Amino acid sequence: MTSTAKKVPIPRNGVDYRGKIVLAPMVRSGECPSRLLALKYGADLVWGPETIDKALIGTTRHENPTTKTVDFTRQSSNGAKNPAINADQRESVIYRLHPEREGRRLIYQIGTSNPETAVEAAKLVAPDVAGIDVNAGCPKPFSTIGGMGAALLKTPDKLCSILSALVKEVGEPNEIGISVKIRILETEEETKALVTKLCATGITGLTVHCRTTPMRPRERAIRDQLRMVADVCREAGVACLMNGDVASREEAVGLISEYGVDGAMIATAAETNPSVFRTKPEGGKAPWEEVVKEYVKTAIEVENRWGNTKYLLGQMIPGKQPAYKAMMATKSYSDLVKVLDYQEEFGEMAKDVDKRLDIGEFEKPKLTKAERKAAAKQAEKEKEPQRTPTAAGIKRTADAAELDMPPDVARDRGPASVPEQASALAV
């Protein structure tokens, strides 16, 4: 590349993907502590896990003074039919980020199949991130259902409409970049046509996963189309990142030079050991013991969901190590720091987090099946409509019976006024 190569302008609050080695978006493996650890070990940017637009819509943004994170939460759907059973149910964290430690190095990846819902969701998180990336590459059913993920590769016009809407209605007002992550298609001609269309939507970056949709991670990446994709992106001035079988920063640098791309993503290797982002002069790949300790500390600091922490440790601790079996038997952060011999350093922190997360010794007693049934019955009884005593017995009111009101009564109640019961049903 030359210094005169065309470049799409990078928005003021955005980031240029060129020259970057970044953490790939990974469901379960890309939560807040994983991203913070990748940055600590030298990742230039981090992608969050794909988050579906409809999951983010309706959340409330909270600034958590304890963890210093920004949390997008909603009331848990668990027990939603009978909220009286779980009146003190904690809110579910849909997305969590750390402004101080991630700053303008976090890219939010959105799962979507609709321009309107994509825009509605992206507007919520746009002020807190450096960019919005559309997932058009994940082949797993949870992503492709409803036309999202890799399914968008079969509907390129829809994908382009989503990107164009995000550029105009989210990117430009918030001065951040919009990008997309795709997979290669069966033929070079098909891929070239797709990339050309995508680059014309106003995006600042494009990542190509060098596998077709049917391929799985165990199959070797195919790079014979990579140079062509890089050339198309360069001609349009769009930054091009590659993904697929990149195991270290050194390997990423070599592939960038060989294929003429602008940057690279590391996925599986970083899931196992995020120190792969570190250069050899800086120490290179660290021993798993060091990385695990840093991860546990970080997970406690941001109060990461216990299930997610345990899952990640299952990827990071070698299965043949005694620590793996001991870790798998734990049920709380306090248990964890004890079996890993971190109690002196993290014991009090772990106990505080267990208390806030209601896990371990602080886990609230669970209702038995009979208790849940009785509570549900009581909740339904309390919701029963009031009845008016009459000479003939007890009669339901018109509201309770859901009868149509006479026009003059209806006018007295309106406009836009509905009975409480009708309102609940509408929701």
Q: Would you name the residues annotated as active-site residues?
A: 138
Residue 167 DSSP class: I
Q: What phi and psi, each to the nearest 5 degrees, are found at residue 375?
A: -65, -40
> At residue 14, what are phi and psi to the nearest 5 degrees?
-95, -165
Tokens representing 303?
Answer: 């109060």
**Which residue has 């002069």 as its token pair?**
281
Sign of dihedral through CA atoms 13, 71, 43, 149?
negative
Q: Is 134 helix (H, G, I), strand (E, B) or coil?
A: strand
Q: Contact 73/93 with Cβ under 8 angstroms? A: yes
Q: Which two tokens stand for residue 336?
A: 């964890």
Report residue 175 CA to chain centroid gap.
21
Please classify residue 65 by burial: count the beta carbons closer than 10 Å to its beta carbon, then call 0-12 exposed, 13-18 middle and 19+ buried: exposed
- When computed from its CA atoms, the radius of gyration of the chain, rounded to whole angstroms, is 26
Q: CA 83, CA 404: separation in Å to the nearest integer?
A: 29
Q: How far apart are alpha carbons 226 and 224 in whole angstroms?
A: 6
Handedness of CA 169, 172, 174, 176 (dihedral sign): positive
Q: Tell me whether strands 21-23 and 45-47 are parallel, antiparallel or unpaired.
A: parallel
Among residues 190, 268, 188, the alpha carbon closest in space to that of 226 is found at: 188
**Separation of first and last alpha carbons in the chain:** 55
- Strand 60-64 relative to strand 131-136, pairing: unpaired
Give the helix ranges, DSSP H, for 103-248: 115-125, 141-144, 156-166, 172-174, 188-199, 226-236
Q: How far apart are CA 91 and CA 245, in angstroms?
A: 37
Strand partners, 16: none
Helix (H, G, I), strand (E, B) or coil at 178: strand
What tokens were used for 297?
């500390």
Distance of CA 207 to the CA centre of its chain: 17
